[in-house]
Structure 1
Amino acid sequence: MLLLAYYHLSSGSVYFFIFFCRLVGNPMCQDEGNEKYCTPAQPNSSYSTQPKHSCIIPFCSSDLILGPNCSCAYPYIGTLVFRAPSFSNSGDSSDYKSIEQFLMQLFRSLQLPVDTVSLSNSTMVDDYLKVNLKVFPQGQDRFNRTGIFLVGFALSNQTSAFSFIADPYQHFEEVPSPPGAKKSSNTGIIVGATTGGSFLALLLLFAGVYAFSQKRRAERATKQSNPFAKWDQRKGSGGIPQLKGARQFTFEEIKKCTNNFSEANNVGSGGYGKVYRGILPTGQMVAIKRAKQESMQGGLEFKTELELLSRVHHKNVVGLVGFCFEHGEQMLVYEFVPNGSLKESLSGKSGIRLDWRKRLKVALCSARGLAYLHELAEPPIIHRDIKSNNILLDERLNAKVADFGLCKLLADSEKGHVTTQVKGTMGYLDPEYYMSQQLTEKSDVYSFGVLMLELISARKPIERGKYIVKEVKIEMDKTKDLYNLQGLLDPTLGTTLGGFNKFVDLALRCVEESGADRPRMGEVVKEIENIMQLAGLNPIIESSSASASYEESSTGTSSHPYGNNSAFDNSVGYSPSTVQPK
């Protein structure tokens, strides 16, 4: 090491030049006796920031301290206490270097007036590593009050890595007082404390007002999402849905009529939830559709569905008796339809045998219910999920359209169609609707055409990879008896099939690729009535007469009408049997 002194004439300061020389590798190291000059210097374990290069060091007068960057200043001094067990008093300079780099990155990211930092004199106290820290100001020889506050706050805010204990800083620049002014540190402290206290009080007041307003806003949002929040059943005011003929049931009433939702009264289940049979005090039997938690709609959507269903009154549409909206429950109470779904009868599960005449009656009743929704309901309703599973049969085998979980209202402003997300059941789904996402009443007509082909074949729309519409078109030959479709017909149809060819023609018109080429449901009703006359039936008498009841027409034991995959199970989402493209 070489030390040279230099006196600067203009400033009167004395500077020292320190040069560190390393002889490692020098030829003189090969001479005997010079080994001690050739040994690499060991780092100082008590101070990690010793200069490792030549440096001009000014002579620091008074209590100015020489910083690592060779400038004299009054540093901000304190102690860093590391809590992490990985730190130890190892004396390894690389540990301190990484800490110094972290601190400098912290100060630079906060744009604080810090030139450099220095760590020294590490000690272990009660398993905590304590290291002295000096923070040197940038561009001046001392920090001002703002600088000290910002640096101290930045260090004290790093609670996850270390804590910082600062020494009092006594080197603020003296600001000359105006002539005639009196110095009073006590007055400044009082004014500062008063100002700070007032600010804190205002801050707390603001926080309280803000919290109260947020609470009120949350309460208003809850009431808006729950349309029955202000519903006083006794007054019949507030957020009451505009119901026509349907009533509200209390949760206790539902529990009582279902015997506390006993399994004996559980007559079906599906994706929506469970369906229970219940008997009202009037003796009326009802089907109660109880939504499970994950299937529940928002309050506004539930209210909209209630208002829609309560307006639908037709003998060929399943009627809504009432609902329950209490204790976080959503339940719909329908009229009980005893003979189950058309799908169960066609598959033989219900034990009901449907011959050709009974199937014509089912087709007529279903068409009338659907025509009512399209042409007489106000506003018109598109069902969107017509299928054999959603056609229920009452005690006289009159068909009723059920399950309005996917239905859409067709407002006047929508001019014949509504653009909406595609939902429905694969096999019954209108390909034009699927491609354009424009829903019209002709989409229901397509589904009804598939239903008609299902009535004559008793086959699922898609079975073993074969689509019933395509299969009928391939096999059909109008020059032959029964259009050459004997191989596709259900054997239980019987041998007398009056009007069969016209029935098939109508079904194929309903499943035309273009909706414009399909008939309206009102036209479908009239054509089925004509077909029934060809079969020797009076459509007016058949639709209202006491035709074959369950006991007269069944051969076997009936399963329950609301069994698995019942009509109360909405076909929402994409599954092997349903489609819901996004």
Structure 2
Amino acid sequence: MGVQVLPILLVFLLGDSIGDAATNPYDFGAIKGLMSDWQNTPPNWVGTDPCGGDWDGIVCTNSRITSITLSSMGLTGSLPGDIGQLSELQILDLSYNRGLTGSLPTQIGNLMKLTNLILVGCGFSGRIPDSIGSLQNLVFLSLNSNGFSGQIPPTIGNLSRLYWLDLADNQLTGSIPVSKGSEFGLDMLLHTKHFHFGQNQLSGTIPSQLFSSGMHLIHVIFDNNRLTGSIPPTLGLVQSLEVVRFDRNSLDGAVPANLNNLTSVQELLISNNRLTGPLPNLAGMNALNYLDMSNNTFDATDFPTWIPTLQSLTTLILERTQVRGGPPVILFSIFSLQRVVLRHNQLNGTLDIGTNRGNQLQLIDLQTNFIDNFKQRAGGYSIEVILVDNPICLETGAAGQSYCTIPQTNTSSYSTPPNSCIPPVCNSNQTSSPNCICSYPYTGTLVFRAPSFSGLGNLTYFDSLASSMMISFQFYQLPVDSISLSDPRKDSYDYLLLNLAVFPSEGVSFNRMSIYSIGFVLSNQTYKPPHLFGPFYFIADQYTNFAEVQVPTTLKKSSNIGVIVGAAAGGFALLLLLALVGVYAFRQKKRAEKAAEQSNPFVNWDPKKSTSEILQLRGARWFSLEELKKHTNNFSEANEIGSGGYGKVYRGTLPTGTLVAIKRAQQGSMQGGIEFKNEIELLLRVHHKNLVSLVGFCFEQGEQLLVYEFLPNGTLKESLSGKSGIRLDWARRLKVAIGAARGLAYLHELANPPIIHRDIKSTNILLDDHLNARVADFGLSKLLREGERGHVTTQVKGTMGYLDPEYYMTQQLTEKSDVYSFGVLMLELLTARTPIEQGRYIVREVRVLMNKDKDLYNLQGILDPAIGLGTSLKGLERFVELAMRCVEESGADRPTMGEVVKEIENIMVFAGLNSKAESATTSASYEEASKGYATHPYHNEDFSKYSGGFPPSRIEPQ
């Protein structure tokens, strides 16, 4: 009897009950079918209960298998038709398993609940089955980097919910399918945002029917195919487009004149075709970063005068386009310009780069033209100029000039540097991480299909990519210690390639579940890189150095064991049984207590008891959900005053007549209960006129609501962008700066314990009815408890552009991290620009332009005109100097917030302003208000309806 009960008790101790865990027999049969075709399945795929046995890579809901994610496992075999039996399956990700070959079974069309089908970088081949059009819940279809052949199934046009369609890097042939009568076609995908079809063998013309004004496409990528005919004018109707690639095909005819309607396009590549007619006029495409129209047969034309007007341009490639005349000097003054390639044209005269050139310019390639003079400036240039096969280089004595030789191809040697440590010598196949720890990283290649820049020597780009990726991994709570990027390079398709290594934070290697999770974040496009890198995909290497885990073994009967245990089974079995039952009961109690704490962390906050915790609620109320429904007329649409990623914001009126703003979290964006409680506790600790006050909260029926004081003028970001209708001149910006600085100084120096905000930015600075600044949103804030005054080591969180680089590199958070963010905010006050805009970082931009010997420190070109240019801007130079001290690379070189407050006060006195008094001017007195009500910053409705604003939701790392 004792022997029979032991396995049952072990099951209870290790997991849930057998009855709750039993896998649906049809699902188990399907998994057995997969296992019979696959090799190298996870070693814990044993037994008969995938759902109850915690099989790696399998997720279940109510005994049904709903997710299979097995990336980078080295699986070999085929995908059998058994997969079609998993009728509840929602996610299938088998990416990065090159050993999975053969064709997709038609039974895949039986997975009617499938939302994500991801088979990136496998070895599948054959036709994509038409049955894929039956997956009407499909949102994400990524079959790129395989060997699929045949035509694109027209039935894909039936997938009305499809968001992402990636069939690139295969061997697909035939024409692009569009609908005809009752037949489906890609033109029916009105809600799809991504058309990725590059690197195939598609042929025929591009149907004009493929595009329409009702589409929401942002990426149209058809490069490296065999398409013929002209570019359809209907392409110019898709106003949402950001990336367009039709390069390396056989397209002919004239470029549609309405292409310049695509004012959001940032990358346009139509090179290496047979396009004819006039060079298209793209004036007005002000967002354009990367333009390549080379190697076509356009009509001969003078250098286009509209090109220098594209002030966001980083890359201009017009090789073999029959451009003539002299390249205008104004072209080289574009601030963001990095690379100009005008080879094999008819340019003549003098090359004059000028003195007001963009500081990012790296290459001017004018090979094989008719340039006969190069006007060089004193001191020379750091730009690489190539004038080979021009008359200037055929003159006597020109051979020694650097611009008359073709330089060796430059490749960037970038590699993520160590974080202030010395890399050790590692054993075997281990690699030293940026934190100088030897381990087995997860590696692969990041491929960016349309980066907005071409200068691979700009290390800032790759630093920002590494930072954003690390923040993303930490945001999803993946066990990642650090990441390394290396060897940036361009391939023959003009794609940007980067080596990626991801290092584990626990032990020297990842376990299987960690690899599945990291792989899914990259294959499913959950991670979004900085905008300047554009669309990407990842090809992972097989991971083999898994962390050792204990694999459950099947309990087997043995005659010897039976005899031994049977001989001692009397009283011992009963005692053992009682002991195990007691342990089980104790563990279940602890589980229940922990679950209760997770589900309701306020369980100890009993309003009827005067506990120490409840005393922290002084000054705030615990509202019931029914109360807040009553105060907002059941959260009516009429009371909605804003929305964001966190949820919606409602105007409420308390019984006392007090106006409040109620932020209601939506499902999917809520914090964990404990994190929500921690944020409330932090808000209740601080009371200052330059901090937004918490009125109360509600945690009930799965709802999370925060009740704040009502502030009428929204965020600083809204005012700087002009959306609020409020004009901030120089005096008002100084008053905003001093208010925000005083709020931060209070958090650092007077709060007990001190608080680091960790997310200072213009969307978290609110303006009251007198335009006094209030610091808001403490969702990422960190308390410095006793012993942590110097720094606290923590996961990196914040917002790109404002993030302290020293904090990112060391993960050591200090008050100086807030000082850095505040310095970026000061520069934003001066320029009204976002910190990272079109690949330009405001800190670096100011640092390069700044010249103390010139008026306004030579910053007139980037100052916000609304600041009052042309009027007296007393103290602006000192304000700039202070901002640049705040963004010093080393925290030790930055001032404290107390020192910042004193310096801004001195600047205000110098400017003739009263730094001690609050602004007595209300928003109603502004000249804008006299012209009519301003637009409310969180709503499209008339400002007169409700004059209120509210702190936006916490913006998670980009």
TM range (shorter): 0.5 to 0.7
- Equivalent of residue 559 in structure 1, options 935, 942, 949: 935
- Equivalent of residue 819 in structure 2, options 442, 445, 453: 445
Give CA-to-partner distance per residue, 1:72-129, whole Å, 9 cap, x none: xxxxxxxxxxxxxxxxxxxxxxxxxxxxxxxxxxxxxxxxxxxxxxxxxxxxxxxxxx
Give CA-to-partner distance per residue, 1:374-420, whole Å, 9 cap, x none: 11111111111111111000000001000101111112312411111
- Structure 1 residues 212 and 493 mapped into 2: Cα distance closer, same or farther (>3 Å)? same
- Structure 1 residues 498 and 201 mapped into 2: Cα distance closer, same or farther (>3 Å)? same
- Equivalent of residue 802 in structure 2, options 428, 433, 455: 428
Name 2:873's counterpart in structure 1. 497
Answer yes or no: is 1:224 the counterpart of 2:597: yes
- The one-letter amino acid of 2:828's match is E
Report the CA distance between 1:276 and its aligned residue: 1.5
In 2, distance between residues paired with 1:554 and 1:548? 12
Any conservation in 2 of the 1:339–1:550 contact (CA below 8 Å)?
A: no
In 2, distance between residues paired with 1:215 and 1:412? 35
- Structure 1 residues 239 and 214 mapped into 2: Cα distance closer, same or farther (>3 Å)? farther
In 2, distance between residues paired with 1:363 and 1:300? 33
Report the CA distance between 1:468 and its aligned residue: 1.1
Name 1:247's counterpart in structure 2. 621
In 2, distance between residues paired with 1:475 and 1:238? 55
Any conservation in 1 of the 2:753–2:783 contact (CA below 8 Å)?
A: yes
Please show how residues 349-428 of structure 1 align to structure 2 within 5 Å. Answer: 349-428=723-802
Report the CA distance between 1:227 and its aligned residue: 3.0
In 2, distance between residues paired with 1:487 and 1:571? 30
- The one-letter amino acid of 1:439's match is L
In 1, distance between residues paired with 2:619 and 2:852? 49
Any conservation in 1 of the 2:726–2:926 contact (CA below 8 Å)?
A: no
Any conservation in 2 of the 1:410–1:418 contact (CA below 8 Å)?
A: yes
- Equivalent of residue 915 in structure 2, options 539, 563, 572: 539
Report the CA distance between 1:437 and its aligned residue: 1.0
Give the secondary structure class of the aligned counterpart of 1:294: coil
- Structure 1 residues 239 and 530 mapped into 2: Cα distance closer, same or farther (>3 Å)? closer
Report the CA distance between 1:552 and its aligned residue: 2.8
- The one-letter amino acid of 2:898's match is G
Give the secondary structure class of the aligned counterpart of 1:487: coil
Report the CA distance between 1:201 and its aligned residue: 10
Give CA-to-partner distance per residue, 1:157-199, whole Å, 9 cap, x none: xxxxxxxxxxxxxxxxxxxxxxxxxxxxxxxxxxx9xx99x99
Please show how residues 7-86 of structure 1 align to structure 2 within 5 Å. Answer: none
Give CA-to-partner distance per residue, 1:319-378, whole Å, 9 cap, x none: 011111121222111111110000000000000011111111001101111111111111
Name 2:378's counterpart in structure 1. none
- Structure 1 residues 205 and 433 mapped into 2: Cα distance closer, same or farther (>3 Å)? closer
* Unmatched tracts of structure 2, length 5 or more: 1-556, 941-948
In 2, distance between residues paired with 1:294 and 1:207? 39
- Structure 1 residues 199 and 510 mapped into 2: Cα distance closer, same or farther (>3 Å)? closer
Report the CA distance between 1:312 and its aligned residue: 0.8
Normalised by the length of structure 1, the TM-score is 0.61
Give the secondary structure class of the aligned counterpart of 2:861: helix
Name 1:322's counterpart in structure 2. 696
Count of matched residue positions in the alignment of Structure 1 and Structure 2:
383
In 1, distance between residues paired with 2:665 and 2:926? 35
Q: Which has the larger radius of gyration?
A: 1
- The one-letter amino acid of 1:444's match is D
- Structure 1 residues 204 and 431 mapped into 2: Cα distance closer, same or farther (>3 Å)? closer
- The one-letter amino acid of 1:571's match is I
Give the secondary structure class of the aligned counterpart of 1:397: coil
Report the CA distance between 1:232 and its aligned residue: 3.1
- Structure 1 residues 256 and 205 mapped into 2: Cα distance closer, same or farther (>3 Å)? same
In 2, distance between residues paired with 1:204 and 1:503? 75
- The one-letter amino acid of 2:767's match is L
Name 1:527's counterpart in structure 2. 903
Any conservation in 1 of the 2:806–2:889 contact (CA below 8 Å)?
A: yes
Any conservation in 2 of the 1:341–1:388 contact (CA below 8 Å)?
A: yes
In 1, distance between residues paired with 2:612 and 2:590? 19
Please show how residues 289-300 of structure 1 align to structure 2 within 5 Å. Answer: 289-300=663-674
Normalised by the length of structure 2, the TM-score is 0.38
Q: Higher relative CO (CA 8 A, sep ≥ 6), structure 1 or 2? A: 1
- Structure 1 residues 530 and 201 mapped into 2: Cα distance closer, same or farther (>3 Å)? closer
Give the secondary structure class of the aligned counterpart of 1:253: helix
Name 2:952's counterpart in structure 1. 568
In 2, distance between residues paired with 1:270 and 1:237? 36
* Unmatched tracts of structure 1, length 5 or more: 1-148, 155-191, 576-582
Any conservation in 1 of the 2:710–2:950 contact (CA below 8 Å)?
A: no
Report the CA distance between 1:223 and its aligned residue: 3.5
RMSD after superposition:
2.9
In 2, distance between residues paired with 1:202 and 1:445? 64
Any conservation in 2 of the 1:227–1:239 contact (CA below 8 Å)?
A: no
- The one-letter amino acid of 2:897's match is M
In 1, distance between residues paired with 2:937 and 2:799? 20
Name 1:235's counterpart in structure 2. 609
In 1, distance between residues paired with 2:775 and 2:840? 27
In 2, distance between residues paired with 1:563 and 1:241? 37
In 2, distance between residues paired with 1:207 and 1:396? 68
Percent identical among aligned pairs is: 67
In 2, distance between residues paired with 1:431 and 1:568? 25
